[in-house]
Amino acid sequence: MTDVAAVRLDVWLWAARFFKTRALAKQAVAGGKVEVGGQAAKPARPLRPGDQLRIRRGDEVFEVQVLGLSERRGPAAEARQLYEESEASRLARAAAAAERRAAMAGYQPPRSKPDKRARRLIRALGDLDAL
């Protein structure tokens, strides 16, 4: 953490390790995937401690409060000290991840081509749908 009064939003997102590159962070902010205080922001918006952020990254949504500022990207342990994620956000992300895992667990691709008996069963199921 540094003793600066404000840091650009895209730089902070990169330093806090929400995005792999600053360009990706800038693109996400410009695309409306990051809100500051419930409002859309620009990449150059100055960020200060105490600001509330909502960050959408793929299927994940983070709701964090800025605790510290940094203009450089450091180790992950140092990056975690820059923000505090709300408990509701953490539980929602965990629930969404569990749902995705459960959905993926139900599907198992076939190991080989269906044999004659399996093809007949598949055709029979298709005939049932026509009823």
* pLDDT class of 78 with cuts at 50, 70, 90: very high
* pLDDT class of 125 with cuts at 50, 70, 90: confident
SS3 103: helix
pLDDT at 92 > cutoff 70: yes
Q: Is 119 contained in some domain?
A: no
Q: How far apart are CA 124 and CA 45, in angstroms?
A: 61
Q: Are 41 and 104 in contact (CB under 8 A)?
A: no
Q: How many helices (H) and strands (E) does the chain have?
A: 5, 7
Which domain does 10 fall in, by range? Answer: 1-94
Q: Is 130 contained in some domain?
A: no
The predicted structure's pLDDT at residue 46: 94
* Mean pLDDT along residues 89-98: 91
Domain count, the chain: 1
Q: Is 131 contained in some domain?
A: no
pLDDT at 94 > cutoff 70: yes
**AA identity, residue 7:** V
> What proportion of the chain, given as a percentage, has pLDDT over 70?
93
5: CATH: 3.10.290.10
pLDDT at 4 > cutoff 80: no
Strand 83-85 and strand 7-8: pairing? unpaired
The predicted structure's pLDDT at residue 131: 59
Predicted confidence (pLDDT) per residue in 31-60, tens digit:
999 999 999 999 999 999 999 999 999 889
